[in-house]
Amino acid sequence: MADLALMSATEAMAALQQGKVSSVELTQACLDRIEKYNSLVNAFIRIEADEALATAAQLDKERQSGKVRSPIHGLVLAHKDMFDRPGKVSTGGTKILRDRVATRTATVLQRFDEAGAVDLGGLNMSEFAAGPTGHNIHYGDCCNAFNPDYVSGGSSSGSGAAVAARLVFGALGSDTGGSIRLPAGMNGLCGLKATYGRISRHGAMARSWSLDHIGPLGRSARDVALMYQAVAGEDPCDPSTLGQPEVGAIDFESASIKGLRIGVPVEKDLETVDVEVQQALQASYRVLEQLGAKLVPVKLPDFRSIYFLAETIIKSEAASMHHDWLKERPQDYSANVRVRIEAGLAIPAAAYIDALRMRTHLTASFIRDTMGEVDVLLLPNMPITVPRRDEANPESLAAGEKVLALVGRITQFTRPISFLGLPSLTVPCGFDQKGLSIAFQIVGRPFAENTLLVAADQFQQVTDYHRQAPSLVSQSS
């Protein structure tokens, strides 16, 4: 029998609906693949096989009796290890939370439960969601699914590696400065950072409450849409979600991007982008034009100043949340994460308040001035190709200004979009000379997620970058 885990989420759901496979069979296929390949990527912190199989068996019984809860009834998922479930530990990728047992259910997990998804366990992540590379001294580094010598991206590192390695069909991550989009792009996946407040954060470990976003990673835009529509919407437990429009269904089959105005940065705004990434972007432009989209040159605002405003908010809020632990358990942090959080203690309150105040103004001006003549904006997901793990290790003896500069470059185009709170979808668009994924991100106006998903799906109907599976053979062996 073919490896069922190699199907996309969309294909798996079609097979379930047609009675060709069961949820138990899909779950077992994922577990078999985890046993075989997880050691190469180190994507899981916690695997709950027995509970997952029992859930899958119950869901199969329901389907047989004619009860189908939702379009993802029986789909096998796993999630970044930062979402609460009563009686379970969600580690947040840190030693400090290793023994904290949750007493509530994260809204996103509750919604997946109600929709009939199977939860296989907790996925690896950067400690306290603080890092774009996937290094973790407590649970081991997470590795890129296409080449374990390279970074998987972070902080949703396990989510990216697990979905790319075909260990699960999809996963949730969180994004404060790029932590969904970076691991998605580095592992050849789609990753959606929805509009700020579109998806509830209740029961999710916070990194920065003003900038945190929750969202799905999948192998295609359609896979992402399945998960997004299951969890998005208002939640009384999270006031930031209130007052938003309905999510709405997407008719992918009749959709088109003919006439869609896509903003592309002027040449000067891409000067810091590596040649291989620029070449992949240019090839993507041609594909989108062939699909009928209209490309419109746009000048970006000063992303560097927006980047540092986001940094002010993140560090200030993290320092506030971690204040007691920094005094009582400083030795339990990795050195890099502790230093970054402690830096927030030195930021003046006035600087933090100014950054929050500027957010509303800058978002309004970005929508008005940068996106005024376009429907969506196409940006690099990352200006560089995927770096090696040893070169990007923030805990190495050689770590210093060079690593800090590398981290800054990795998040150059993602962090400003998180600050602005706009929806953004990562889409794989090529491979570099080392065989590692290159991606772009599509940015939209608030609550325009469906537009982004349609544009990505149209691109994926005529390209196959998202269908390329990693060989999972260690390049260093």
User: Which residues are catalytic, by number?
Assistant: 80, 155, 179
Structure tokens at 439: 């991606």
Distance CA 371, CA 443 (A): 9
The phi, psi pair for 400, rounded to 5°, reads: 180, -140
Distance CA 208, CA 214 (A): 12
Q: What is the dihedral of CA 445, 449, 454, 459, to 10 degrees?
A: 80
The phi, psi pair for 118, rounded to 5°, reads: -95, 135
Instruction: Tell whether omega for the bond before 155 is within 30 degrees of 0, i.e. cis.
Output: yes
- Burial environment of residue 58 by CB neighbours within 10 A (0 to 12, 13 to 18, 19 or more): middle
CA angle 264, 133, 179 (to 5 degrees): 55
Question: Which region, left, alpha or beta, applies to residue 140 given φ > 0 means left and ψ of -120 to 50 means alpha?
Answer: left
Q: Say whether 130 sits in a helix, a strand or coil.
A: coil
Asked if residue 150 lies in contact with residue 388, where contact means CB atoms within 8 angstroms, the answer is: yes
* Residue that has been written with the tokens 């697990």 in this structure: 162
The amino acid at residue 110 is Q
Own/partner pairs, 241-250, CB within 8 angstroms, 24+ separation: 241/197, 241/198, 241/199, 241/200, 242/197, 244/195, 244/197, 244/198, 244/447, 245/447, 247/449, 247/450, 248/450, 250/225, 250/450, 250/453, 250/454
Which of 194, 185, 182 is CA-nearest to residue 412?
A: 182
How many Å is the Cα radius of gyration of the chain?
A: 21
Please list, in sequence order, all residues whose beta carbon lies within 8 angstroms of the beta carbon of residue 335, skipping any fewer than 6 positions away.
Answer: 395
